[in-house]
Amino acid sequence: MGGVVISVALIISFLLRATFQDSPKSSLRFDGATGKFKIVAFADLHFGENAWENWGPEQDRKSDRVMSYILDAEKPDLVVFLGDVLTANNLPVKNATKYWKQATEATAKRSIPWAAVFGNHDDMPFEWPAQWFGPSGVPGASPGHYAYFQGTSRAELMEEDLKSAFSVSVQGPPSLWPSVSNFALPIASHRKPGSTAALLYLMDSGGGSYPQVISAKQASWFRDVSAALNPDNQTQELVFWHIPSKAYESVAPKPSSPIAAPCIGSLNEENVASQSAEWGIMGILAKRPSAKAVVVGHNHGLDWCCPAAVAASGCVLLGTVAMEAMEAGREARE
């Protein structure tokens, strides 16, 4: 544990062993020249927020500029969109996918692969602003014209995401419905063709159209898939989801206090807003020495990483994080 430490704009290196597994995502591979694989994660972009006011679209333009700068500076091998890509509860439109395209455009323009998980705002039902019932009325309303306020479902957003040639996301197993973004991504070794040097697991932590939770079925799915892909725990793993689990509450620094060792970070302005229940995922992770960190978003006033006594290190971030992994090869470690 403590194999990965994460904070905004901080590049971390950690060693990853190579095991013999086939990779279904052949585009994800450690660099042959450097032996490295770099991931940039974007959390809580909230595209489409207050789209009817000037500050909303301006916020989206600023987010695009920041992402463009980071992508050019870091030149990652993979981008993870870590949930709340959209603020669907502010989008009075039937099809919110144009905002999804806007959020991923900077990454697509640079031909960088990405994967996405959903947060609680991505398919949240529309919330009527109280000011719309004042003298100015509903923006854009006219006789015979009615806006659509039911939102775009997770499944529809994932279908749109998968249309891009650069998306390596996966439409998760239907048996895990209503969660959608549940999948594993092997990172192929450059040293040994046909082998896997790292494993990423992306999971849907709910919220929006259903409760904020990783279900017991999802936990069982992770247990079975990780055991099949990495039976001897020799391939190091990272796990990504949006909303922190209950375990984060037990390791979190006291709000507004300095972030002290063994934790690192730069923001500690609020309490952890965690999932509504714990249905086994953290207990399973606690038994996997290969799981090095769980990376989440959701809490806008937090940016820290703390080692956990019961599971992999817990890392919560605001905005962006760059992680750099180095393949060591099993033969170099044994």
- DSSP letter string, 36-94: EEEEEEE----BTTTTTSTHHHHHHHHHHHHHHHHHHHH--SEEEEES--B-GGG--SS
User: Residue 306 pLDDT > 50, yes or no?
Assistant: yes
pLDDT bin (cut points 50, 70, 90) of residue 200 is: very high
* Residue 199 confidence (pLDDT): 94
Would residue 307 count as lying in a domain? yes
User: Residue 145 pLDDT > 60, yes or no?
Assistant: no
Token duo for residue 205: 């932590």
Chain-centre distance of CA 163, in angstroms?
19
Q: Which pTM does this prediction carry?
A: 0.83
**CATH classification at residue 66:** 3.60.21.10
pLDDT bin (cut points 50, 70, 90) of residue 107 is: very high
The b/e string for 93-103 (b: 16+ C-beta within 10 A; e otherwise) is beebbebbebb
Would residue 181 count as lying in a domain? yes
Would residue 223 count as lying in a domain? yes
User: Residue 240 pLDDT > 90, yes or no?
Assistant: yes
**What value does the mean pLDDT take over residues 240-267?**
87
Which of 133 and 16 is assigned the larger pLDDT? 133
304 in Cβ contact with 267 (< 8 Å): yes
Mean pLDDT, rounded, of the chain: 80
147 in Cβ contact with 93 (< 8 Å): yes
Would residue 146 count as lying in a domain? no
* Residue 250 confidence (pLDDT): 82
**What value does the mean pLDDT take over residues 304-313?**
65
User: Residue 320 pLDDT > 50, yes or no?
Assistant: no
Number of folded domains in the chain?
1
User: Residue 3 pLDDT > 60, yes or no?
Assistant: no
User: Residue 321 pLDDT > 70, yes or no?
Assistant: no
Would residue 144 count as lying in a domain? no
Which of 333 and 110 is assigned the larger pLDDT? 110
3-class DSSP state of 332 = helix
Would residue 18 count as lying in a domain? no
Would residue 134 count as lying in a domain? no
Provide the residue range defining the domain that includes 183: 28-128+152-330
Q: How far apart are CA 218 and CA 238, in angstroms?
A: 16
CB neighbour class for 272 (10 Å; exposed up to 12, middle 13-18, buried from 19): buried
pLDDT bin (cut points 50, 70, 90) of residue 325 is: low
| Integer Rg of the chain from CA | 20
Q: How far apart are CA 40 and CA 13, in angstroms?
A: 13
User: Residue 11 pLDDT > 50, yes or no?
Assistant: no
Alpha-helix runs per DSSP H in the chain: 55-74, 97-109, 154-162, 216-229, 247-251, 281-286, 330-333
> Hunting for tokens 């962006």 — which residue is that?
320
Token duo for residue 52: 């009817």
User: Residue 170 pLDDT > 70, yes or no?
Assistant: yes
* Residue 61 confidence (pLDDT): 94
